[in-house]
């Protein structure tokens, strides 16, 4: 990290103000050559930004943050100028001439992590706060950025460390004939740690829904009303709706928010024998999208197909492991009781919703159903911004604690109990970054915007 990086910290395009950020060891020298003299630390100072010939590129405010009291932990210079793309690029080119290089996506925050200004969970919360699609998501991301998620992870890790120390002490002093595995207090502390983990996992699952949302694929036969349902959920005409079968040829994606939970909705080509190569490709993409979805909404024309014959024919071709909800559409035409599956019918054991994409009747029921499927609770207060990798780590912690409890109950070798506790601590360390790889860091920070 000896080099100095530069990037615009504000979005591209025209605006009243644009901010260019510079971070690294050469900031002091660069600032003096660009501005004539370096501003006093943390005091906004009016200045002219000059080119190599001394001519003004722009004028505005300069802010200097000496290391380590800066966002990245390095010397940082922020230049606040006029928000024109030409001016911003001219200023960046001048900074490149002075020895900086263009920053990679997320590199400022990555340096903050590497310089111990943020842990890994906090660094990810920076991106989550920027990308928040609702007030609830923003609040959850801010709590994680302020360290609440990390502190709960570290508290649990400390609890497990103390348990592990107790078990390993019994191993080291085996001659004292201390049967630590028969200690009821140890079992109670392990059970308390499991309860602590369960609360953390619940808060994280809610946060993951706020951050990443749920991916739903609308599937079914042509003219069942899939595109009409997408338009109704999106609140605008996102898809073309006609009476001609096969109108939708490609995937149509819309992002909506249900009580704070982002919902990624994909409309797909109607499932049938393709009429041409283009439609066949659309159907192939539809099946690929279904395989990657959190849930499939299989839309059925309740007026023409009250017993879901279309689903019966398609069921064997649907991806295994992806839950399905049957959506009986067009109840405005079919009547309230026209579509009904009886016990023993194929699909009778699946959840179903009756609605009209045309009138909007039943949409509230569908929304409640989708939130319930994901375990989302609107208005939940104990929510922490989290990602899929965090939930994966917490799941592994739960598995290791379950194994430790099993070994403890069987009074097997204490080495096995200690090893499960060690593995649980390692999984927790992955969340905050005490256990991380260069590949993981590269994957996380590459998703950040440039300038952050």
User: Could you tell me the domains of the chain?
Assistant: 5-119 (3.30.1360.120), 131-210+384-433 (1.20.120.430), 214-373 (3.40.50.300)
393-431 pLDDT per residue, tens: 999 999 999 999 898 888 767 888 889 999 999 999 999
294-318 pLDDT per residue, tens: 888 999 998 888 888 888 888 888 8
Strand 214-220 and strand 252-258: the pairing is unpaired
Q: Collapsing DSSP states into helix, strand and coil, what is residue 44?
A: coil
| Mean pLDDT lowest among 2-6, 12-16, 237-241, 388-392 | 237-241
Average pLDDT over residues 39-58: 95
- Burial code (b: 16+ CB inside 10 Å, e: under 16) for 262-275 equals bbbbbbbbbbbebe
Average pLDDT over residues 159-168: 87
Question: What is the pLDDT at residue 60?
Answer: 95
Q: How far apart are CA 337 and CA 325, in angstroms?
A: 18
Average of per-residue pLDDT values in the chain: 85
**Rounded-to-10 torsion of CA 110, 112, 115, 118:** -110
pLDDT at 335 exceeding the cut of 70 = no
Structure letter (DSSP) for residue 41: B
Q: How far apart are CA 386 and CA 210, in angstroms?
A: 8
Structure letter (DSSP) for residue 381: S
Count CA atoms closer than 13 A to 347's CA, side-chain side.
Answer: 26
Per the CB < 8 A criterion, the answer to whether 366 and 299 are in contact is no
pLDDT at 196 exceeding the cut of 90 = yes
CA-based nearest residue to 323, from 396, 391, 373: 373
Q: Please indicate whether residue 313 or residue 48 has the higher confidence score (pLDDT).
A: 48
pTM for the whole thing?
0.74
Distances in whole angstroms, Cα of residue 187 to Cα of each of 67, 102, 412, 417: 47, 54, 14, 11
Q: Find the DSSP H helices in 173-276.
A: 184-212, 226-234
What confidence tier does 62 reach under pLDDT thresholds 50, 70, 90? very high
Please write down the long-range contacts of 240-245, taking CB distance under 8 Å and 24 or more positions apart. Answer: 245/270, 245/272
End-to-end CA distance of the chain: 16
Q: How far apart are CA 127 and CA 138, in angstroms?
A: 11
């Amino acid at each position: 990290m000896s080099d100095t990086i530069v990037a615009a910290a504000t979005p591209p395009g025209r605006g009243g103000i644009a901010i260019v950020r510079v971070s690294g060891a050469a900031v002091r020298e660069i600032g003096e050559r660009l501005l004539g003299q370096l501003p006093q630390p943390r005091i906004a100072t009016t200045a002219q930004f000059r080119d190599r010939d001394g001519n003004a590129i722009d004028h505005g405010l300069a802010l200097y943050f000496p290391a380590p009291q800066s966002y990245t932990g390095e010397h940082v210079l922020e230049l606040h100028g006029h928000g024109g793309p030409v001016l911003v690029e001219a200023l960046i080119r001048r900074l490149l001439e002075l020895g900086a290089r263009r920053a990679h996506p997320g590199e400022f925050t990555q340096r903050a992590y590497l310089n111990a200004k943020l842990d890994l969970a906090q660094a990810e919360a920076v991106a989550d706060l920027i990308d928040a699609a609702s007030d609830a998501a923003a609040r959850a991301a801010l709590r994680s950025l302020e360290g609440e998620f990390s502190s709960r992870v570290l508290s649990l890790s400390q609890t497990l460390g103390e348990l592990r120390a107790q078990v390993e002490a019994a191993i080291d002093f085996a001659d004292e004939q201390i049967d630590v595995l028969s200690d009821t207090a140890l079992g109670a502390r392990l059970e308390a740690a499991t309860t602590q983990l369960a609360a953390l996992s619940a808060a994280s699952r809610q946060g993951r829904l706020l951050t990443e949302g749920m991916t739903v694929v609308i599937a079914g036969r042509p003219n069942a009303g899939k595109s009409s349902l997408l338009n109704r959920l999106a609140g605008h005409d996102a898809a073309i709706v006609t009476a001609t079968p096969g109108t939708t040829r490609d995937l149509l994606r819309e992002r909506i928010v249900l009580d704070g939970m982002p919902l990624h909705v994909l409309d797909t080509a109607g499932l049938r024998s393709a009429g041409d190569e283009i439609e066949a490709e659309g159907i192939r993409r539809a099946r690929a999208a279904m395989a990657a979805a959190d849930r499939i909404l299989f839309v059925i024309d309740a007026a023409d197909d009250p017993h879901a014959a279309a689903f019966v024919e398609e069921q064997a071709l649907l991806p295994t492991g992806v839950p399905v909800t049957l959506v009986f559409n067009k109840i405005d035409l079919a009547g309230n009781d026209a579509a009904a599956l009886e016990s023993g019918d194929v699909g009778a054991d699946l959840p179903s919703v009756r609605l009209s994409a045309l009138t909007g009747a039943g949409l509230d029921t569908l929304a409640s159903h989708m939130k319930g499927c994901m375990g989302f609770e609107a208005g939940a207060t104990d929510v922490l911004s989290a990602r899929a990798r965090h939930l994966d780590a917490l799941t592994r912690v739960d598995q290791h604690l379950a194994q430790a409890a099993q070994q403890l109950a069987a009074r097997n070798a204490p080495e096995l109990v200690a090893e499960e506790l060690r593995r649980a601590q390692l999984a927790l360390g992955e969340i905050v970054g005490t256990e991380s790889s260069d590949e993981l860091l590269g994957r996380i920070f590459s998703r950040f915007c440039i300038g952050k």
